[in-house]
Amino acid sequence: MGTYILKRVLWLIPVVFAVSAITFTLMHMVPGGPWSSERAVSPGVQAKINKQYGLDKPIPLQYVDWVVSLAQGDFGPSFRYADRSVNAIIADGLPKSIQLGVMAFIVAVALGIPLGVFAALGHNKAPDYAATGISIIGIATPSFVLAILLVVLFSVVLKWFPTGGWKGPETWVLPVIALAGYQVAVIARYTRASMLEVTRKDYIRTAQSKGLRSRAVVTRHMLRNALIPVVTILGPIFAFLVTGSFIIETFFGIPGIGRYYVQGIAGRDYGMIMATTVIFALAVAVLNVIVDVLYAFIDPRIRYS
Amino acid sequence: MATNQQAIPATAVQTRQSSGVWRDAIGRLRKNRLAVVGFFGVCFLLFLGVFGPMLAPWPYYAQDTAAVAANGFKPIPPFQDPSHILGTDGLGQDMLSRMLDGARISLTVALVVQLVVLLIGVPIGALAGWYSGSRLDNGLMRFTDVMYAFPDLLLIILFSVAFRETAFGQAMNGLLLVFVAIGLTAWVTVARLVRGQFLSLKEMEFVEAAQAIGVSDRNIVIRHLLPNGISPIIVAVTLGIPAAILAEATLAYIGVGVQPPRASWGSLIAAGQPFIRSYPHLTYLPGIMIAAALISFTFLGDGLRDALDPKLKGKQ
């Protein structure tokens, strides 16, 4: 197990390199550059700026430069904000994005799994319909629609929460709910499907027939097995909540990196695109390793060699 | 059980061997009310997607400036003007016609993305799961890791911007490119799910039994593992359809993919959002369409899951 984890962790390095190389290539295939604008810049000035930012070199060399600079912990300059380095922008925005994502993840798991279990235990009865109804509403409402509804109801009409910003707990509530809503439904559905699958296994019947209290059957036998497929989707869900919060960040005016990252694509801010991709990619890859290791702990039938 | 106790002719018993599972599944599906609702919802959406633009009272791009001028250059609310039953936006574009065109966009998303996901995800997951621990498994899973580690939104946007100028990028007003890009990021979940299923399924007794009587690996995978592992794949694909519709709507909401004058439900919501307090129909009508599409596919998928699971037989 130890060597397996070590191997997987070492694999993170090539994974992140592959992601960064693909992104670098795609990024330079995009027509236009950071200096394309309506005002034409004279070729001399253009060449000078290109030289200053290293854009005059061949693209493979530019990539090598970027890797060397990254090895020293420097994401390089932002091509859009001349006065700020990418490092400074990331250091400012990343904690906010992580905080938003983690809070939404906690809400999604804390509501989604019990909802799914509740539905499965009362299969085809009132609890099932109630829990499924809630998760259907969650699935049918995109985060931006949920955000619009939440703001209209709780900010404009009831005036309970502010419409935006990121200045304290009362500003966190609406964005976290808007971001988590859909994932609550997804987790609940997966948990329900998985629980129903497990309910029909022989070992559950055995556990029940030997007179085990139903609470013990559910927690020790059903949940542990039913959570295996659920664990596999928690990784991508967490990644989605951290990296996919761009809509919510923009909607509520939260200064996280999600906003900078799509602005970076629009403005061909090469430094910003590379930095956000690598950070997000590293986060997702690390989560994958954690999920796979958890997998082996939860399901002893799976053996890694 | 009571319904299964009719006398079955001997010939019917024999045909069960080949097609019985699917026939039973359809029978169970028809008894599941929510699934039937979902099925008709999906059929209705398919109908709208295929024939909607022909039924639409106006072309999606037409601007009825006269009607809007008569209304004081403001959006016309639903049920006010008989020629615009669901109203218009501020430019006089008929909401019904625009939403019918949006149905076509959303359904194409659903189909193209899932096709890409199945064609890539299932073979990769199956190969990796069956040959787990081998070099092939390692190679495929490392490739999956690379794709998995990509932030979806970034890859989709980069892809659609990078290939926008090519012939492929121009197909279907640039929409096809966005669909394939969504599929290229979405298959990874299915591949990992299939591999996970295979990892635990191949330790089961029936696989050992099949191996003992000399069934080839290929047949074990196709005839034993895939059918047994199909219900999570179906749940994932069915969940994948609303997820793809949602991804397209989200991208359209931020202005990636569909370009004016064409509009998907997501970009209609984006356009209507500033007027939500005075003209809520511009937001809630496309919102209802998205919700209807997501719910229909979800109900149908749920029903399919219950119907296709042979282990549930006799329990409903």
Instruction: Using a CB–CB cutoff of 8 Å, tell me whether B234 touches chain A.
Output: no
Does residue B299 form part of some domain? yes
Question: What's the confidence (pLDDT) of residue A302?
Answer: 65
Strand partners, B84: B81
For A137, counting Cβ atoms within 10 Å of its Cβ (0-12 exposed, 13-18 middle, 19+ buried), the class is middle
Burial B42-77 (b: 16+ CB within 10 A, else e): beebbebbeebeeebebebebbbeebbeebeeebbb
Q: How far is CA A5 from the centre of its chain?
A: 22
Q: Distance from B11 to chain A by nearest Cα, in Å?
A: 31
In a domain, B81, yes or no: no
Residue B148 and residue A148: Cβ atoms within 8 Å?
A: no
DSSP annotation of B274: G
Query: What is the structure's pLDDT at B316?
Result: 32
SS (H, E, C) A232-274: HHHHHHHHHHHHCCHHHHHHCCCCCHHHHHHHHHHCCCHHHHH
Please, are residues B107 and B49 in contact by the beta-carbon 8 Å criterion? yes
Which residues in chain A have Cβ-Cβ distances shorter than 8 Å to B311? 197, 200
Asked if the Cβ–Cβ distance from B149 to A240 is below 8 Å, we say no
Contact A193 B305 (CB under 8 A): yes
Return the DSSP state at A80: S
Hey, are the CB atoms on A19 and B146 less than 8 Å from each other?
yes
Please state, in angstroms and rounded to a whole number, the distance separating the CA atoms of residues A13 and A162.
Answer: 42
Range 15-44 of B in CB contact (< 8 A) with A: none
For residue B279, the enclosing domain spans 21-55+92-312
Whether B125 maps to a domain, the answer reads yes
Q: Would you tell me the crossing angle of helices A169-199 and A126-140 to the nearest 10 degrees?
A: 130
Of A144, A152, A281, the CB nearest to B150: A281
The residue among A103 and B21 whose pLDDT is bigger is: A103
**B228 touching A, CB under 8 A?**
no
- pLDDT beyond 50 at A263: yes
Cβ proximity of B108 and B50 under 8 Å: no
Say yes or no to pLDDT of B311 above 60: no
Give me the pLDDT at residue B14, please. Answer: 47
Which 3 state secondary structure label does DSSP give A85? strand
d(CA A239, CA A234): 8
- Is residue B258 situated within a structural domain? yes
Specify the CATH number for the domain of residue B126. 1.10.3720.10
In tens, the pLDDT along B118-129 reads: 999 989 988 888
Is residue B16 predicted with pLDDT exceeding 70?
no
Give the minimum alpha-carbon distance from B177 to chain A in angstroms, rounded to a whole number: 14
In Å, how far is A18's CA from the nearest CA of chain B? 7
Is the CB of residue B269 less than 8 Å from the CB of residue A144? yes
Q: Scanning every residue of chain A, which has its alpha carbon at the shortest distance from the alpha carbon of B305?
A: A193
Q: What percent of chain A has pLDDT over 90?
A: 5
Which of A30, A200, A282 lies at the smallest CB-CB distance from B311? A200
B88 forms beta bridges with B94
Using the structure block, give the residue that is written with the tokens 């008709």: B40
pLDDT of residue A305: 53
Measured between beta carbons, the chain A residues lying within 8 angstroms of B151 are 239, 243-244, 261, 276-277, 280-281, 284
Q: pTM, whole model, 2 decimals?
A: 0.75
Does residue B8 form part of some domain?
Answer: no
- The Cα of A145 is separated from the nearest Cα of chain B by a number of Å equal to 7
**Residue B313 predicted with pLDDT over 60:** no
- CB count, 10 Å around CB of A2? 6
* B15, pLDDT greater than 50: no
Does B66 map to a domain? no
User: Distance between CA atoms of A142 and A146, rounded to whole angstroms?
Assistant: 6
* B136 has pLDDT over 80: yes
> Residue B7: inside a domain, yes or no?
no
C-beta atoms of B158 and A265 within 8 A:
yes
**At CB < 8 A and 24+ separation, what contacts does A16-22 make?**
A16/A278, A16/A281, A16/A282, A16/A285, A16/B149, A17/A67, A18/B146, A19/A277, A19/A278, A19/A281, A19/B146, A19/B149, A19/B150, A20/A66, A20/A67, A20/A274, A20/A277, A20/A278, A20/A281, A21/A63, A22/B146, A22/B150
Residue B6 belongs to some domain of the structure:
no
Instruction: Describe the crossing of helices A126-140 and A86-121 by its angle, rounded to 10 degrees.
Output: 150
The number of folded domains in chain B is 1
- Is B181 touching A (CB cutoff 8 A)? no
| Smallest Cα distance from A72 to chain B, Å | 23
Cα–Cα distance list, B95 to A270, A280, B54, B84, B101 (Å): 39, 39, 15, 8, 10
Give per-residue pLDDT as tens, A235-261: 778 877 877 677 888 788 888 887 787
Chain B segment 81-110 residues within 8 A of A by beta carbon are none
d(Cα A77, Cα A75) in Å, to the nearest integer? 7
- Type of residue found at B150: F
Residues of B within 8 A of A23 (CB-CB) are 150, 154, 158
pLDDT band at A110 (very low <50, low <70, confident <90, very high): very high
Q: B239 CB contacts (<8 Å, ≥6 apart)?
A: A186, A189, B298, B301
Q: Which residues pair with A143 in a beta bridge?
A: none
User: Which residues on adjacent β-strands are paired with residue B81?
Assistant: B84
Which ipTM score applies to this complex? 0.71
Mark yes or no for CB contact B161/A299 under 8 Å: no
DSSP structural state of residue B134: S
